[in-house]
Amino acid sequence: MRDSFLSFSPPLIGEEEINEVVQTLRSGWLTTGPRAKQFEQDFAQFIGADAALAVHSGTHAMLVGLAALGIGHGDEVITTPMTFCSTVHVIEQLGARPVLVDIEPETLNIDPREVARAVCPRTRAVMPVHLYGHPCEMDAILDIAARHGLYILEDAAHALPARYKGRMVGTLGTLTAFSFYATKNLTTGEGGMLTGSASIIEQARTWSLHGMSRGAYQRNTAEGSWYYEVVLPGFKCNMTDIQAALGLQQLKKLPQFQQRRKEIVRRYSQALAEYEELQIPVERAEVESAWHLYPVRLNLDRLTIDRARFIEELRARNIGSSVHFIPIHVQLYYRDKYGYKPQDFPVAYDNYLRLVSLPLNLRMTDSDVEDVLEAVADVLAEHRR
Ligand SMILES: *Cc1c(COP(=O)(O)O)cnc(C)c1O
């Protein structure tokens, strides 16, 4: 057994990021400036998106994205219960109604057939979440959206970089939100990016910065640089140049980061496929997953312990793990407001009870990976039925 604790997802920050942050601090530009602008351009180019807006978090990318689409009171937005709470919070915060639908058993992504069934005259948008980095069934979702005139705002917090049928996630729906939180595939500590068409991104930019529009003085410089117009009751979630400094350097390393993730995933899947007690994650032929997480599902009928105990047993062997996610419909606020029961979304709930995410991060050495496998083998050997 290893003698030190293996953290679940520590960030990997190199000298390049540190130097870029120090240069930023010396430059005099702390808040949104040249580095934020450069990061937006580099990111849009990397994705192949028309335009990008850098903000303070992935959550804010979704919030200003929905606001820019005009989503508000009386509107419904269809999304998945198998996500982080903020996907659903942003809908709620804008006064719209989140409509949850169940997920596909294979990928745990939103089920397009359930989306089609939930569309009604109040539906304005669909928010698919590319869970664990595996793209959703986008052709089916795009088709539903086209037939009913709906927007698509993708939660791609896990899906940088990911491809669906050769196309990069970030170029598929109306808007796509990425997160650069400390545990994500690319990190700026806190941070996020919204990609989409230039016109919607400019509207989202106004929402992200107090609803201030510089349009008037850009057109009429006689007004002077002190002049601005407030056209919306906007939020305040612009990205700072300090965050962007991290992002600029992390983006350069992303291809090599992804290679390493895939190496770890290959080793995990090769070693874990043999266990009848586990179900390993899939990558469908038509996609390239970003492999943000490596969730295994326990076949509980083959074990004498439950998921919580499995996590404790890993911890006792110095291996950190986690659960992604506790479904939204069992969280108190949503359960009570909408009267949800666990079995309202049986695929989400039943899989939740079986999910454990194993460590998958860029700080792991090959021997750390073997330590995880050894710990899993040991727990299974001790607790198989
Ligand atoms: C991390 C995450 C978010 C939120 O991103 P922040 O940058 O922390 O706001 C949203 N959705 C999912 C699925 C996430 O994992």
Distance from Cα 136 to the centre of ligand 1, integer Å:
17
Strand partners, 287: 164
Q: How many domains does the chain have?
A: 2
CATH number, domain at 214?
Answer: 3.40.640.10
The residue from 236, 251, 266 where one domain ends is: 251
Cβ atoms of 201 and 194 within 8 Å: the answer is yes
Residue 9 domain-assigned (yes or no): no
Catalytic residue among 37, 165, 184, 337: 184
Residue 268, pLDDT above cutoff 70: yes
Residue 8 domain-assigned (yes or no): no
Residues 199 and 304 in one domain: no
Residue 313, pLDDT above cutoff 80: yes
Tell which one of 181, 184, 188 to mutate to probe ligand 1, the residue whose CB is within 8 A of the most ligand atoms. 181
Is residue 184 annotated as a catalytic residue, yes or no? yes
* Domain encompassing residue 104: 15-251
- Measured from the CA of 191, which atom of ligand 1 is nearest? 7
Residue 360 DSSP SS3: coil
Distance from Cα 160 to the centre of ligand 1, integer Å:
12
Residues 105 and 198 in one domain: yes
Residue 179 domain-assigned (yes or no): yes
pLDDT (tens digit per residue) in 23-61: 999 999 999 999 999 999 999 999 999 999 999 999 999
Contacts of 191 (CB under 8 A, 6+ apart): 54, 55, 56, 57, 58, 179, 180, 181, 239, 243, 244, 246, 247
Distance from Cα 58 to the centre of ligand 1, integer Å:
5
Residue 221, pLDDT above cutoff 70: no
Residues 210 and 340 in one domain: no
pLDDT (tens digit per residue) in 82-112: 999 999 999 999 999 999 999 999 999 999 9
Residue 1 domain-assigned (yes or no): no
Residues 61 and 98 in one domain: yes
Which DSSP helix (H) or strand (E) runs through 54?
Answer: strand 51-55
The residue from 251, 285, 319 where one domain ends is: 251
Kindly report whether the global pTM for this prediction surpasses the value 0.85: yes
Cβ atoms of 237 and 31 within 8 Å: the answer is no
Over residues 258-277, the mean pLDDT reads 98
Residues 244 and 309 in one domain: no
Residues 204 and 263 in one domain: no
Over residues 188-192, the mean pLDDT reads 98
Give exposure, 252-272, as e/b (b: 16+ Cβ within 10 Å).
Answer: ebbeebbebbeebbeebeebb
Over residues 236-257, the mean pLDDT reads 98
Residue 214, pLDDT above cutoff 80: no
Q: How far apart are CA 308 and CA 150, in angstroms?
A: 40
pLDDT (tens digit per residue) in 115-156: 999 999 999 999 999 999 999 999 999 999 999 999 999 999
Over residues 72-84, the mean pLDDT reads 98
Residue 330, pLDDT above cutoff 60: yes
- The set of protein residues with a Cβ atom below 6 angstroms from ligand 1 is 57-59, 83-84, 86-87, 129, 155, 157-158, 179, 181, 192
- Measured from the CA of 184, which atom of ligand 1 is nearest? 1
Cβ atoms of 123 and 147 within 8 Å: the answer is no
Cβ atoms of 208 and 235 within 8 Å: the answer is yes
The residue from 216, 251, 286 where one domain ends is: 251
pLDDT confidence of residue 220: 54
pLDDT confidence of residue 216: 45
Q: How far apart are CA 21 and CA 15, in angstroms?
A: 10
Main-chain phi, psi angles of 148, to 5 degrees = -110, 5
Residues 179 and 272 in one domain: no
